[in-house]
Amino acid sequence: MTKNKIDFVDLGVINKKYKAKYFNLIKKIYDGSTFIKSKYNSILEKQICKIFKCKYSLCVNSGTDALIIAIKSLGLGNGDEILTTSNTWISSAYAISLNNCKPVFVDISEKYLQIDESLLKKKLTKKTKAIMVTHLYGNPSKMDYICNFAKKYKLFIIEDIAQSQLASYKNKFVGNFGDIACMSFYPSKNIGAVGDGGAIICNSKKLIHKATNFANYGSTNFKDKDHKIVGFNSRMDEFQAAFLNLKIKDLKKNNHIRRKLAKIYDKKCDTLGIKRIHVTPQADSAYYVYPIIVKKRNLLMKEFKKNGISSQIHYEIPIHLQTAYKNTNKKGLKITEQVSKNILSLPFYPGIKKKQIERIFKVIQKNKKLI
């Protein structure tokens, strides 16, 4: 990082405090010669259960793997339809498609940018078997309505909490509303690894047993030589687990910092007349990113770049408009498409300095015609 540059996320700043302890753990793991799914995985799974207030957890290779395994564990396939959103990272849809299921995209609410629960019934068919709820940007969806809808129509709920670790709705952590939930430990996430990783959480012993089998070549452990099902390899390595064990202890504190930062950003946005994303009522966001809605996004990004400020788009092309999903039904996704043209995420992370925040908003103020 150059002296005057403002990174979108500065992982060096975020991870600095863990460096010495982690290097010591690397040596211990290296000398112990047990590198996959061992001691540190077990410790991490116990920590996840304690912190997220769930009964069971399973560490896997990535958030994408977690979603694939979760859908498999629910026994979905053969053209089953799963209701979900298109304004997210494409791995959500991939996980559905790779299980021989069909993603059916539901539009989002303009104010909160979460799945519009009032539109679920319009997309319901005889083939609908589940709802995949992605709590995007750290902001929880309205889970009471979604849970009631799922119960009424006998649908599974899969929660994607990759961006909303320890976000809550009505004082309950997301990930505990549905049948099964998945998270990612991609480096920039609220709990980020130094590589890749993911986890599944649930409160069903039966589901976690199935998930464990799928993630471990179709058996629960290597002592069992009879592989019960066709599984694959999605085991977290010990190096990632060891680092995450250090970092997960600070999740609550770092989320608190993110919320304090968000209040500063909110105030500045309101002062300048910038359209921001509102938090779902009766929810606490984990503020994975801080997106705004602007009229001339690409021009504002150029101004940021001139001033050494990085910004990103979450997400520029909705899934239903991407080539991989060219045959998807594109009707009724007006808000999704509209938002994709104007959304912009500002630099935002624990450790960003006040003077850096001032620089960000100073550039916006100088270019008010673009917002």
Q: What's the pLDDT at 3?
A: 62
Whole-number pLDDT of residue 297? 97
Percent of the chain's residues with pLDDT above 70: 99
Tokens of 226: 């009879």
3-state DSSP assignment of residue 275: strand
For residue 197, which of 16, 65, 52, 73 has the smallest C-alpha distance? 65
pLDDT, the chain, mean:
96
Question: Phi then psi for 131, rounded to 5 degrees?
Answer: -120, 125
User: What is the Cα 17 distance to its own chain's centre?
Assistant: 24
> Domains of the chain by range and CATH?
11-249 (3.40.640.10), 250-370 (3.90.1150.10)
Q: How far is CA 170 from CA 129, 142, 284, in A?
A: 26, 9, 8
Mean pLDDT of 77-82: 97
Could you tell me the pTM of the whole model? Answer: 0.96
* Centroid of chain to Cα 184: 6
Phi then psi for 205, rounded to 5 degrees? -65, -35
92-96, 201-205, 229-233: lowest mean pLDDT where? 229-233
Residues 13-51 have pLDDT tens digits of 999 999 999 999 999 999 999 999 999 999 999 999 999
Q: Is the pLDDT of residue 328 over 70?
A: yes
Res. 190: pLDDT tops 70: yes
Q: What is the pLDDT at residue 260?
A: 98
* CA atoms of 343 and 6, how far apart (whole Å): 19
Handedness of CA 243, 254, 144, 141 (dihedral sign): negative
Residue pLDDT, tens place only, 135-179: 999 999 999 999 999 999 999 999 999 999 999 999 999 999 999
Does 1 have pLDDT greater than 70?
no
User: Token pair 């019934």 is at which residue?
Assistant: 121
224: which residues sit within 8 A by CB, 6+ positions away? none
pLDDT of residue 227: 86
Q: Is the pLDDT of residue 2 over 70?
A: no
In the beta sheet, which residues pair with residue 160? 134, 182
